[in-house]
Structure 1
């Protein structure tokens, strides 16, 4: 790793501190270097607050050194007025002579424009340093702008013989306990890292889940519920005010402060239309937790990015069949005698035929 990569890597470390707090913005870190010494650092802490570049600039004790320094940042500085002033203009105002950028911003409002502002001001710009790593950190943000849909993470636990649950007909039958306590904590960590969480009608009715981050510090995700006919009782946990809830249905009810009903026609284009609606609301990532049919629909449609599957040693003989990605896992790890598999979809499709 050369010195340019070392400083961009430090930007990535800083940027990660914003995880779960900056969505729908990307995670960004910035480092200011003078004579091979870091004199300032910063990252984007929270959506609507200052970006990484001004935070790094403010951390420099001797502002005069800025005119002899290099600013490193993992994502192209913004050039448009949003919640904050454009970072590219601030860099120009501070007369920083050189900027090293990990990757360009995929947002069409920004892409290439921030670099152009810097170059027009005579600033030397270096791009695409640790580009793959920079894109990977903000994979959710890139999915929203490159594919015009949220990043879709599928998650489920299954038994050794391939079942996701026992067969249940009402909420009086408890679900099969497959995941251990540590795995549950990791699931809640995933909830905090993704902007939204999605379940189907059956999961909401049979499990009455709250879908919040009880076992991990962080922001509760937006709850997305698919309820075609309005089967979910209004006193269920998904309707509490602990998180925003979006109910997609053909039978809308009256909106409340925390719950919004959105009409969705449940036809063969349902998943595509759903994801387009979520993208229009600037939701850049969705954790899909169930049920089995909904997970299968996403897989069959090719509308998923990653899948995390926990496999226990249990054998139950019969039950609800777990979905299958149809591909080999990219990685695996054993945690408390449970096998955890990670799948990455490299053959994404953009049309779907589904029913939930």
Structure 2
């Protein structure tokens, strides 16, 4: 992912959709880009709902009017294309219809039948696809089947925007592990907190609402123990645009066990503590405590492996780390991160706040895919090559 995105788009999708329900179009009405943008906007309805499946949108268009649309439902339920077809009714005539889909229709049996079979049974005149699906079971097979029956296929419309939005799914498929995303808010001189460890609020309401949207997008959120003690973060999605499908799984990085006598404040959290500290507890660790193993590898690497091994009903696909500076620096120096959301606000802290800076100098593996402004705040989003 090397190209800079269209101004309205980021890793979270269309920015204004993440903050409100009904954004305006950013492409000329009636173009393929316009209709693909509509499909991308519809796909955002499944943020927090569809994982580990990708958040896909499908729009069926005839004579510049939407006949039906759909987005990916919860894991095991309808995919976007099937939802759109169900919304059409029985025995539809699609001979003059163009379908816009944000990801190649699947061509394999899983919990649902192949989506491409819908288009084989009810052929459309034309199908426009943003991205090819890198899943080994798909990877162009759906497109080949469509072309074999004479359907015109156009691939790559708003591909970079769709690729950014699908980043957790795509990178997870290629890297074969959960993806790690850094997020921090800093002052113009790069400080994350003042000399008293306080950081509320560096950025404004729109930046915070977008952060809440990202929390719903990613499976798990991590903060450090000192960040928890100073900020008492709720890590909810309350200020983002609806629908709200989930709050994230929450983790505290607490290698020294600073929070072990305050676990009543951590209901619903998972606390990661060094193995040697947990072994020294008289009554053994609480059920919410997890062990970071001892070893020669960097602490950040050992923490990464411990978090990725945490039991879950659904596979763990994405992890966002929100700070503080010491945790971010450890994971950056351990080369754990695959992407970053960096907010810069206008607030200035005292001169003794320098210890709360992130030490990051992106190398050639990292690509800045956007710069965006939320009122007075500036956002940069970076992705590491994968």
Match of residue 325 from structure 2 = 292
Match of residue 141 from structure 1 = 169
Change in Cα spacing, 1:247 to 1:134, as seen in structure 2 (3 Å) is same
Match of residue 187 from structure 1 = 211
Residues 312-333 of structure 1 show CA distances to partners (whole Å, capped at 9, x for unaligned) of: 3323111333114335975253
Is contact 1:71–1:99 with CA below 8 Å preserved after alignment?
yes
Residues 115-153 of structure 1 show CA distances to partners (whole Å, capped at 9, x for unaligned) of: 344345554433223222221221222221223344433
Residue in structure 2 matching 1:325, options 357, 360, 381: 360
Residues 72-104 of structure 1 show CA distances to partners (whole Å, capped at 9, x for unaligned) of: 211011223333222122332334454332111
Is contact 2:188–2:344 with CA below 8 Å preserved after alignment?
no
Once residues 207 and 36 of structure 1 are traced to their aligned partners in structure 2, the CA distance between those partners, rounded to angstroms, is: 50
TM-score, normalising length: structure 1: 0.78
Unmatched runs of 5 consecutive residues or more in structure 2: 1-27
Is contact 1:149–1:276 with CA below 8 Å preserved after alignment?
no
Once residues 291 and 266 of structure 1 are traced to their aligned partners in structure 2, the CA distance between those partners, rounded to angstroms, is: 24
Change in Cα spacing, 1:102 to 1:286, as seen in structure 2 (3 Å) is same
Once residues 301 and 194 of structure 2 are traced to their aligned partners in structure 1, the CA distance between those partners, rounded to angstroms, is: 30
TM-score, normalising length: structure 2: 0.73
Is contact 1:164–1:322 with CA below 8 Å preserved after alignment?
yes
Is residue 251 of structure 2 the alignment partner of residue 224 of structure 1?
A: yes
Change in Cα spacing, 1:260 to 1:116, as seen in structure 2 (3 Å) is farther
The alpha carbon displacement at 1:273 in A equals: 5.9
Is residue 290 of structure 2 the alignment partner of residue 261 of structure 1?
A: yes
Once residues 207 and 236 of structure 1 are traced to their aligned partners in structure 2, the CA distance between those partners, rounded to angstroms, is: 16
Is contact 2:204–2:345 with CA below 8 Å preserved after alignment?
no
Residue in structure 2 matching 1:196, options 202, 220, 231: 220
The alpha carbon displacement at 1:114 in A equals: 2.5
Change in Cα spacing, 1:113 to 1:245, as seen in structure 2 (3 Å) is farther
Once residues 145 and 109 of structure 1 are traced to their aligned partners in structure 2, the CA distance between those partners, rounded to angstroms, is: 11
Is residue 267 of structure 2 the alignment partner of residue 240 of structure 1?
A: yes
SS of 1:318's partner is helix
Which aligned pairs between 1:269-348 and structure 2 lie closer than 5 A? 270-272=299-301, 275=304, 282-302=315-335, 303-319=337-353, 320-326=355-361, 330-331=370-371, 333=373, 335=375, 339-346=377-384
Once residues 36 and 184 of structure 1 are traced to their aligned partners in structure 2, the CA distance between those partners, rounded to angstroms, is: 37
What is the aligned length?
Answer: 337
Unmatched runs of 5 consecutive residues or more in structure 1: 169-173, 349-356
Change in Cα spacing, 1:30 to 1:277, as seen in structure 2 (3 Å) is farther
Is contact 1:149–1:275 with CA below 8 Å preserved after alignment?
no
Is contact 2:69–2:83 with CA below 8 Å preserved after alignment?
yes
The alpha carbon displacement at 1:59 in A equals: 1.8
> Which segment drifts farther, 215-224 or 101-110?
215-224
Cα RMSD of the aligned pairs, angstroms, is 3.5
> Which segment drifts farther, 70-79 or 120-129?
120-129
Change in Cα spacing, 1:160 to 1:122, as seen in structure 2 (3 Å) is closer
Match of residue 22 from structure 1 = 50
